[in-house]
């Protein structure tokens, strides 16, 4: 069983790899909140994305295996061609059901499932991308009392994804990458377990 009470879920598509690398490589290896990263990627490709993150991060990067416990010190990457779901006992489930928004893994699927488990203790961050995936999941996080953060579309490599989230969640927090890093450091320093 996983234990940590908070969770950060990050989604990105086109431009999302660079953006998430920039954020996550700034975080220390003992970062206090576990992180799940859902990036759109090519189907049936192997774990090369994982090795990029392994190399660049102080945190440990790991592709989700089914039933892995959600633990701090890790960035869990959604594997290619699977949706990632979150169980009540803070472990992962994988799912090969239909594509959502033409995507598997889909950001909406993970955001929604995580919001049902973590509620107000969930922080969702949506980055650059040329897709609409993620915005309704981010909205759901907001409705469940969690925190919704969107990368500033003016800074994003492709603005479609962050902009469509802002369009449906006017209350979300819009930050550039520097701002997102600062916010994550703030959470690291102030999180009460």
Partner 1 sequence: MKLDNEDLFEQEVEELIQEIHTHYGYDFSGYARASVYRRIKRFLNNQHLSTIGELREAVFNDSFYFESFLQEITVNVTEMFRDPSFFLSLRTNVLPILSTYPFIKIWDAGCSTGEELFSLAILLKEEGLLERTKIYATDINQKVLKQAKEGIFSASNIAAYTAGYYASGGKQEFSSYYLSNYGSLKFDSSLIKNVVFYPHNLATDSSFNEFHLVVCRNVLIYFNRQLQERVFTLFDESLVNLGYLALGKKETLAMSEINKNYNFVDKGNRIYRKTG
Query: How do beta strands 92-95 and 83-86 pair?
Result: antiparallel
What's the DSSP call for residue 7? E
Q: Least separation, in Å, of the C-beta of 113 and partner 1?
A: 6
Exactly one of 40, 106, 135, 159 is catalytic; name it.
40
Q: Which residues bind partner 1 (CB under 8 A)?
A: 43-44, 46, 64-67, 79, 81-82, 85-88, 93-98, 109, 112-113, 116
Does the annotation count 13 as an active-site position? yes
Q: Least separation, in Å, of the C-beta of 24 and partner 1?
A: 22
**Of 31 and 53, which has the nearer Cβ to partner 1?**
53
Closest to 7 (Cα-Cα) out of 87, 79, 98, 100: 87
- Percent of the chain that is helix, strand, coil (3-state, to 5): 35, 25, 45
Exactly one of 6, 131, 133, 135 is catalytic; name it.
133
Q: Least separation, in Å, of the C-beta of 191 and partner 1?
A: 23
Cα(168)–Cα(123) distance, integer angstroms: 17
Q: How many CB atoms lie within 10 A of CB 113?
A: 21
Q: Least separation, in Å, of the C-beta of 46 and partner 1?
A: 7
Does the annotation count 133 as an active-site position? yes
Burial class (CB in 10 A: 0-12, 13-18, 19+), 98: exposed
**Of 24 and 109, which has the nearer Cβ to partner 1?**
109
**Of 85 and 156, which has the nearer Cβ to partner 1?**
85
Cα(130)–Cα(153) distance, integer angstroms: 11
Does the annotation count 40 as an active-site position? yes
**Of 85 and 141, which has the nearer Cβ to partner 1?**
85
Angle at 116 between CA 171 and CA 127, to 5 degrees: 45
- Active-site residue set: 13, 40, 133
């Amino acid at each position: 069983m996983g234990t940590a009470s908070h969770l950060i879920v990050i989604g990105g598509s086109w431009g999302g790899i660079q953006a998430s690398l920039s954020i996550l490589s700034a975080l220390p290896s003992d970062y206090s909140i576990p992180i799940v990263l859902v990036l759109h990627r090519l189907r049936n490709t192997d774990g090369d994305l994982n090795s990029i993150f392994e190399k660049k991060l102080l945190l440990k990067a790991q592709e989700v295996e089914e039933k892995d416990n959600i633990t701090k010190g890790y960035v869990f990457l959604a594997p290619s061609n699977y949706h990632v779901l979150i169980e009540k006992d803070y472990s992962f489930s994988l799912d090969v059901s239909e594509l959502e928004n033409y995507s598997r893994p889909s950001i909406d699927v993970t955001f929604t499932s995580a919001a049902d488990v973590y509620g107000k203790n969930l922080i969702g961050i949506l980055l650059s991308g040329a897709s609409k995936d993620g915005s309704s999941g981010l909205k759901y996080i907001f409705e469940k009392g969690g925190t919704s953060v969107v990368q500033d579309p003016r800074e994003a490599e492709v603005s479609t994804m962050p902009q469509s989230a802002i369009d449906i969640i006017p209350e979300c927090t819009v930050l550039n990458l520097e701002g997102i890093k600062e916010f994550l450091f703030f959470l690291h320093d102030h999180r009460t377990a």
